[in-house]
Amino acid sequence: MSAAAAAARAARLLLPCLSQTTATRLLHASASQGAAREASGSFIHPAAVVHPDAVVGQGVSIGPFCTVGPSARIGDACQLHAGSHVVGDTELGEGCVVQTGAILGADIPGQTVIGENNIIGHYATVGIKCQDLKYKTGDECFLHIGRNNEIREYCSIHRSSKSCDCTVIGDNNLIMGSCHIAHDCKIGNNNIFANNTLFAGHVVVEDCTHTAGAVVVHQFCHIGSYSFLGGGSVVAQDVPRYMMVAGDRAELRGLNLEGLRRNGFSDQEFEESLSESIYANYYY
């Protein structure tokens, strides 16, 4: 039995359980998508709604009750778990996993680009409209995410607030559950953000930083590489590289020795970091 015939048969088996409108839509979808399934080797569940204009790569799996919009582009070997959605002008790179309930993109001007091998957790919202009151309806807004990031459940990541800017996340970041990355943030590579870390708009985070849980970072702050932000901190100033900070409002607590060890710093690099730490403590 061909993929198209199998899909149509599966849709008809569901008919007694569905409304007339839903059943008709499923039959239409199964007919229009069957050829694409056969050609690409992808699996599209008959209860998924994939627009005919969407671009679906090779070996893609799209589960039941997913929606894929007309401007979406799904890369090879992606997995869309049940009830996940890709809307608006959204590009999903190869090998990504989108778990149940996640929403990627938004039906507003602009674009969401997600690179290869990212995991988007349950009910995360990635590439949606920002909450900046200065955003003007109709303006383009953008989000670019790199490769090999793990974005866990209930995270929210917003597009930029204006067409001349872009929210950016680099590569190899672990963004734990319920974190928030607001409009126009710039996040580097190899960072770890523990649960409920909140970055307000325009925050810059360099590379290899680590936040403990429930950290709040004020708008426009700059977080230096290899720094550590203690749990529950409210950060209202820039954080120098290599430093530990903690408290409300966060204050310097010394050199992030453990973080430097874990990242393979040599003795000479330790000395250089210590010199920078002394300077930072004097001027912070």
The pLDDT score that the predictor gives to residue 13 is 43
Give the pLDDT score at 147.
98
* pLDDT per residue as tens, the chain (284 positions): 444 454 444 444 443 444 444 444 444 444 444 434 443 689 999 999 999 999 999 999 999 999 999 999 999 999 999 999 999 999 999 999 999 999 999 999 999 999 999 999 999 999 999 999 999 999 999 999 999 999 999 999 999 999 999 999 999 999 999 999 999 999 999 999 999 999 999 999 999 999 999 999 999 999 999 999 999 999 999 999 999 999 999 999 988 988 998 988 887 777 776 666 666 555 55
Q: How far apart are CA 36 and CA 39, in angstroms?
A: 5
Amino acid 265: pLDDT: 85
62-89 as b/e, with b when 16 or more CB fall inside 10 Å? bbeebbbbebbbbbbbbbbbebbbbbbb
- Residue 267's pLDDT is what? 75
Question: What pLDDT was estimated at residue 104?
Answer: 99
pLDDT at 7: 46
Q: Are 46 and 30 in contact (CB under 8 A)?
A: yes
Q: Nearest CA to 146 among 126, 128, 161, 176?
A: 126
For residue 155, CA distances in Å to 18, 134, 177 come to 32, 23, 6
Cα–Cα distance measured from residue 210 to residue 103, given in angstroms and rounded to the nearest whole number: 26
Q: Where are the domains of the chain?
A: 87-205, 209-284
Contact 23, 14 (CB under 8 A): yes
pTM value? 0.84
Architecture in CATH of 87-205? 3 Solenoid (2.160)
Rounded Cα gap, residues 10 and 46, in angstroms: 7
pLDDT of res. 270: 72
* CATH fold match for the domains 87-205 and 209-284: yes
Catalytic residues: 183-184, 201
**209-284, superfamily in CATH?**
Hexapeptide repeat proteins (2.160.10.10)
